[in-house]
Amino acid sequence: MALNPAAWVGKKIVAWLTAERVSTAQSLCDFDRIRYEIRPCDVLLVEGRSRVSEIIRTVTQSPWSHSALYIGRIHDIDDEELREKVLSFYDGDPNEQLIIEAWLGEGTVVNPLEKYRGDSLRVCRPTGLSRSDAQHVLKFALHHLGFDYDLRQLIDLARFLFPYSVIPRRWRSSLFQHNAGSPTRSVCSSMIAAAFSVVKFPVLPVLEKRNDGTLRMIPRNTRLFTPRDFDYSPYFDIIKCPHLDFSRQPSYRELPWDDDGRICNADGDCYLAPEPAVELAVNLIKTQQVSDDRSIDIDTNGLEEIKTS
């Protein structure tokens, strides 16, 4: 077989863009809780660690660089034909929790949810989506298995950030032309947005106010959706699963705060705060705690007097 230099270079570039960097920072979410909380058709947002993730974050001005659709376990799919299709793309444990995602260099694939253990994640749940409609959403997404990743669309999104009038005509995006691009290519967020549009579930529709004061929803071009849109959408509930959840503590003051006087700009970028500032903060906290303890004692004594009388 003849070597195609362009294909070889392309593969090298894709490998360089998608190489995951080792993160030294602690993830902000509890992955085991996410595994328990997540439901079929939830959208999983990922703060990726690759070069292409950094590009997408810059393009979209958002911490979320990737989105995936949770499909559950094999037996969560009602349609037998779709179950067989998933099994043709995934040969692992059938009881594994699975997601469908479009990824550069891989196309649209099925992967285990476990892939993102250690990443910062957020779960976006479509509010009130019925089970039957959820199955339709999954069906649309699963029919995209095997599609290529649409790199052109990512470039178009980047172009869309610039004022249209200043872009040379030959560079202008083809996003708004009918049938633009290949129907067998997709990116993560646009494929998921298109799946929800099948059941007329809104993500971020355009709202048009009529002369009589009523509002109408107009479908938004699904090719323009980015991961942050699911986070921003008022029609998705945000499920957060932090490692340290003060709702499970007697008080947020019981969280394991460091008392060495360090202040951090970011993970690994910390410094000691000036002594007066540290002492002032500690004294303020102690004063407030004493005040709270006294108020609790007063309330308790008052209750005791009432009981005695």
Block means of pLDDT (10 residues each) for the chain, 309 residues, are 60 63 71 94 86 70 88 92 91 92 81 92 96 94 81 57 53 45 59 94 91 88 88 94 72 78 81 66 60 53 47
Domain annotation covers residue 12 = no
Among 203, 222, 248, residue at a domain's last position: 248
Domain annotation covers residue 5 = no
Shared domain check, 96 and 34: yes
Shared domain check, 275 and 147: no
pTM of the model: 0.73
Shared domain check, 174 and 110: yes
- Taking the C-alpha atoms of residue 221 and residue 174, their distance in angstroms, rounded to an integer, is 13
CA angle 192, 196, 201 (to 5 degrees): 145
Shared domain check, 180 and 278: no
Among 248, 282, 298, residue at a domain's last position: 248
Shared domain check, 86 and 32: yes
Is 24 in a helix, a strand, or coil? coil
Domain annotation covers residue 2 = no
Q: How many CA atoms lie within 13 A of 49 on its CB side?
A: 15
- Taking the C-alpha atoms of residue 227 and residue 225, their distance in angstroms, rounded to an integer, is 7
Please give the residue range of the domain that contains residue 169. 25-248
Provide the number of structural domains found in the chain. 2
**Cβ count within 10 A of residue 152:** 16
Shared domain check, 244 and 262: no
Within 8 A by CB and 6+ apart from 258, the residues are: none
Shared domain check, 271 and 233: no
Within 8 A by CB and 6+ apart from 34, the residues are: 121, 123, 239, 241
Domain annotation covers residue 4 = no
| Tokens linked to 18 | 């998608």
**The predicted structure's pLDDT at residue 142:** 93
Domain annotation covers residue 1 = no
Residues 197 and 222 sit within 8 Å (Cβ to Cβ): yes
* Residue 100 parent element (H or E): strand 98-103
Shared domain check, 223 and 154: yes
